[in-house]
Amino acid sequence: MKKAFYSKVAGSLLLSAGLLASGVAAADETITLNAGGVGFFGITHDAGEEFTDTFLFSLTPDWAGWAAGSAAVGITNMSGTLMPNVDITNIVFFSEVAGERTELETTFNDGAITFYPTAALEAGNYGFTVTGMVASNVQAGSYAGNLSVTPVPEPATYAMLGVGIGLLAFTARRKTNNKLG
How large is the average pLDDT for residues 150-156?
Answer: 70
Q: Is residue 13 part of a domain?
A: no
Q: Is residue 73 part of a domain?
A: yes
How large is the average pLDDT for residues 37-64?
Answer: 95
Where is pLDDT greater, at 8 or 173? Answer: 173
Q: Is residue 176 part of a domain?
A: no
CATH code, 78: 2.60.120.1050
- Rounded to two decimals, what is the model's pTM? 0.71
Q: Is residue 111 part of a domain?
A: yes
How large is the average pLDDT for residues 73-80?
Answer: 88
Number of separate domains in the chain = 1
Percent of the chain scoring above 70 in pLDDT:
70
- Position 87 pLDDT exceeds 60: yes
β partners of residue 93:
128
What residue numbers bound the domain in which 118 lies? 27-168
Q: Is residue 82 part of a domain?
A: yes
Q: Is residue 81 part of a domain?
A: yes
CA distances from 77 to 20, 80, 113, 138, 139 (A): 28, 6, 21, 11, 10
Contacts of 8 (CB under 8 A, 6+ apart): none
Nearest residue to 74 via CA among 142, 1, 167: 142
Distance from C-alpha of 127 to C-alpha of 96, rounded to nearest angstrom: 8
pLDDT tens, position by position, 89-147: 999 999 999 989 999 999 999 889 999 999 999 999 999 999 999 998 989 999 999 99
Q: Is residue 161 part of a domain?
A: yes
Q: Is residue 32 part of a domain?
A: yes
